[in-house]
Amino acid sequence: MGYRMFVFMTVVVVVQGGHVIEHIVQLLQVTAFGVPDDKALGLLGYLIQFNGTEEWLHLGYNILYLVALYVLIIPLRRITPAILPVGAFWIYLAASVWIESFHMVEHGVIIHNVIVNGGCPCPGIGDRALNVSDTVLHFFYNVIAYAGIVLAYRYVLRDRKRQRDLPAPRAALEPQGQ
- Whether 136 maps to a domain, the answer reads yes
Residue 42 belongs to some domain of the structure: yes
pLDDT above 90 for 122: no
In a domain, 178, yes or no: no
Tell me, yes or no, whether 170 lies in a domain.
Answer: no
Please give the model's pTM, rounded to 2 decimal places: 0.85
Region of residue 175 (phi > 0: left; psi between -120 and 50: alpha; otherwise: beta): beta
Residue 20 forms part of a structural domain? yes
The 10s digit of each residue's pLDDT in 38-80 is 777 778 776 766 656 677 888 888 999 999 999 999 999 999 9
Average of per-residue pLDDT values in the chain? 88
Split into its structural domains, the chain has a count of: 1
Lowest-pLDDT choice from 17-31, 38-52, 112-126, 151-165: 38-52
Range of the domain at 11: 3-163
Within a domain: 63 = yes
Whether residue 109 lies inside any domain: the answer is yes
Residue 169 located in a structural domain: no
Say if CB 107 and CB 58 are below 8 A apart: yes
Is the pLDDT at 123 greater than 90, yes or no? no
Check pLDDT > 80 for residue 143: yes
Q: What is the identity of the amino acid at 82? A: A
